[in-house]
Amino acid sequence: MIDREIVDRIDRLVGEQLAAYENRSGYDANVNQERCPRCGREWHGLAITERMEQMRLVRTFDDNYRHARDTSRVLCPGSMFVGPTPLESAAHTGFDVLAAWRDMVWAAREADPRRPHLPAEQAGGTAPAVGVTGGCDRASWHCARCGAWATIVETVGAANAFANALQGYAAHIARTHEIELATPFDVEEFAARFGLPVYGVLWDADHTVIGSYGPGGSTFEADHTPRELKGFGAIPPPGA
């Protein structure tokens, strides 16, 4: 067999394999690669900041740049999932918090979860303060330096949903800001340390309140199925 025939056979084999592989990935070979649903660029998992855009435009990279410490304006928060996710994989399978910390979850330190339709001050407490004492500086349950969006997916029982969500957020904060958490993890200690709510209410996809939590998620009253769980906190923001 001559060399040309070997090359032709390899070309045919590669062509057959590529033709049979329907879900190609990689920007080098796939013109149908999913794009970011928010900004329309090629898909990106990290939030794109003003500082990143500056480096891109001048075609240089600052060796001292660290995304976790970037405090410049967020231009696009990126995808909610790590990589393009098939619809069947993205289906809700438990406690699913699509956590836009600033917009979806409000602090409810002293709000009465049994009367969530009232502002905190009318419910007998004081209005929730904006900001987290642990260093995240935009609003409660929001980390400006980590991008505006995150996803916590926990398959847990309803009674444990609030505590598990707090634990997931604790891991996020600890990893990003290089802090140590108490071992074993203590929900109420963490909530007090970072100024997070220990009381809360739960709402569904339509932002209808369907349950309430006691301190640290220790008690729970609701009438729902796990698939209905969408968010937690105080009163859903107007227009959400």
Using alpha carbons, select from 47, 56, 52 the residue that is nearest to residue 79. 47
The pLDDT-based confidence of 172 (bands split at 50, 70, 90) is low
User: What is the C-alpha separation between 135 and 140, in angstroms, rounded?
Assistant: 10
Q: Report how far Cα 126 is from the mean position of its chain's Cα atoms.
A: 28
Tell me the two tokens of residue 222: 């609701």
Task: List, for residues 42-60, the tens digit of each pLDDT value.
Answer: 777 778 888 888 887 777 7
Question: Residue 134: exposed, middle, or buried by beta-carbon count in 10 A (0-12, 13-18, 19+)?
Answer: middle
pLDDT digits (tens, 9 = 90+) for 135-144: 232 233 334 3
Neighbours of 156 (CB within 10 A): 15
Whether the model clears a pTM of 0.95, i.e. scores above it, the answer is: no
Using the predicted structure, report yes or no on whether residue 155 has a pLDDT greater than 80.
no
- Each residue's pLDDT tens digit, 186-235: 766 766 666 555 555 554 444 455 555 555 445 555 544 333 333 444 33
**pLDDT digits over 5-24, tens only?**
777 788 788 777 766 655 44
